[in-house]
Structure 1
Amino acid sequence: MVATVLHEIPLQGGDVTDGVVRIADTVRRPICRSSPAVHALLRHLEAVGFDGAPRLVGMDATGREIITFVPGTAGLTVHSVTDEALGSLAVLLRRFHDATEGFPLAGHRWEGGSNDDDVPEVIGHCDLTPENVIFQGAEPVALIDFDLARPTTRAFDVVTTLRHWAPIADPVDRHPLLRHVDVGARLRLFCEAYDLPPRTRRRLLPLARLRFGRSYEVMRARAAEGGGWARLWEDGAGERIRRAAAWLDTHEDELHAHLV
């Protein structure tokens, strides 16, 4: 009998997790301390019928988690930066948050990270960078890489998402496709598509400032542990956070005008 040889295709794009590969229609990923919580979350999402996340298959013989491969494209493209795509992403994030409402907010061990001071409402993805959203054409169809998911507020996860997608960043650090966009208009568009209440919208910019400060400290501490976080820090992640916070200070009034 001839043994089947599984062909592993390395998957790039993530900033922190090493060793992610595709085998046929599955993805194999190293586990981390939050994996049991993430696995419980993925099982919950499947049980409630949320179709915007990979399915958990199990574990392989080497101890890696097995999840389904979601076909499509990650990262920023001319299709994923449109206003229509941004609105669709807001709807997908809202659907995800709604789907987590029945999931226990206590009793699981999550990765630490910056967070809101308000009482958690949902499980947030907390890392919706362009590399963690799968598009099929111009439509965002799935969120991936839930390693940093944790209990939080809707507003905090919205701010974390808008940090990358509005984006709330100094133009020098933005992707060329987003360098000259109207950030305030994109903030408003996302909030309207998500159906974020006006009082919550008014919290977003102060919450963004809080997030910048705490993210800086969290990333600096994790960088000291080495690995992907150290590479991010060495690549200037701390400086980019500082510049984003300074840009927000300068433009807060004009951004706020779009959120009232």
Structure 2
Amino acid sequence: MAYEELPGESEPEDELPHGDVTEGVVRVGATVRRPVRAQSGAVADYLQHLEAVGFRGAPRFLGRDRAGRDVLDFVPGAVAGDPPPAWAADDELLRSVGRLLRDLHDASEGYAADRGFAAPTGTQWFRWPSPSEAGPAAVPVGPPPELVGHNDVTPQNVVVREGRAVALIDFDLAGPTTRLEDLVNTATHWVPLRAPADVWPGWSRTRQPERLRVLADAYGLGAAERASLVDVAVARADRMWWAMRGAAEHLGGGWARMWDHGVGDLIRRRQRWLLDHRDDLRAALA
């Protein structure tokens, strides 16, 4: 991809809050500059598809700057910090997250119709590495994908204006998935589906079964998917434990820091909590 002279090249760079993994993200005028990753080409192609089909809930990909960084639209609005503040626990905001995710999935359905779910030639999606000591049978396999999704709809990756979710950002983990898997991942962070000891300050009064229903209703989730959602969440927690362990070992950096800070234990506590509260969660969804 050729480097281009893009709007704002001469403007100062302002560092933006970074997540657990990606650093070096800056704002330059009305654009955001992000370091290129192995998956950047696939993500750019996906964002261009979303723009072409009229989805307005994602930044536009504008090209590469002279420093070789990806250049995206800056989407104005509020983004929750880490840990997310109490305002992010609002039920109306949760409803808008569900609607935005549904719009993304509907816009994504035709993305890879002509080539399955492979990334464009010469690019790749983000790949979760397996721990070295794990045999092939030890790591659970996810369901066959049905579309390309975001796969990381955390409060830190949603832009909010006037109390409503208006856009998703940070598509680094985008890739083949299912509607329900992406929704479960979203619920993990927004309901949140986690043990009480791990719920953030200011979120302690959230009613998790009821909020799970709010999210499912806003998304328009069907009866069959509601019946299987909790089991999908339990199975996904198991896969994510292995995925995070492998990422910590092979990718290092922020992945290793998260593992050292106990993310593996948090995932196992979430899994036990889901099993212990499976009946309550299923009843709320029904």
* TM-score over 0.5 (shorter chain): yes
Deviations 1:36-69 (A, max 9, x none): 1100000001101100000011101111100010
SS of equivalent to 1:80: helix
Which stretch shifts more, 227-236 or 151-160? 227-236
Q: Distance in 1 between matches of 2:195 and 2:142?
A: 26
Q: CA RMSD in A?
A: 1.6
* Partner in structure 1 of residue 65 of structure 2: 60
Is 1:123 aligned with 2:138? Answer: no
Deviations 1:98-121 (A, max 9, x none): 001110142302112499733322
Relative distance call for 1:101 and 1:19 in structure 2 (3 A) is same
Is 1:197 aligned with 2:208? Answer: no
Is 1:112 aligned with 2:137? Answer: no
Q: How far did 1:236 drift?
A: 1.6
Contact 2:35-2:69 within 8 A present in 1 as well: yes
Q: Which runs of 5+ in 1 are unaligned?
A: none
Q: Tell me the TM-score normalised to structure 2 length.
A: 0.86
Match for 1:112: what amino acid?
A: R
Match for 1:91: what amino acid?
A: R
Q: How far did 1:87 drift?
A: 0.7
* Partner in structure 1 of residue 269 of structure 2: 243
How many equivalent pairs are there?
257
Match for 2:270: what amino acid?
A: A
Q: Which runs of 5+ in 2 are unaligned?
A: 1-8, 129-138
* Partner in structure 1 of residue 132 of structure 2: none
* Partner in structure 1 of residue 79 of structure 2: 74
Match for 2:94: what amino acid?
A: L
The counterpart of 2:187, out of the listed 150, 159, 162, is: 162
Q: How far did 1:177 drift?
A: 2.5
Structure 1 segments, 4+ long, off by >4 Å, are: none
What are the residue-to-residue correspondences of 1:219-230 with 2, within 5 Å? 219-224=244-249, 225-230=251-256
Q: How far did 1:81 drift?
A: 1.6
Q: How far did 1:221 drift?
A: 0.9
What are the residue-to-residue correspondences of 1:35-54 with 2, within 5 Å? 35-54=40-59
Counting aligned pairs with the same residue, the percent is 45
Contact 1:20-1:27 within 8 A present in 2 as well: yes
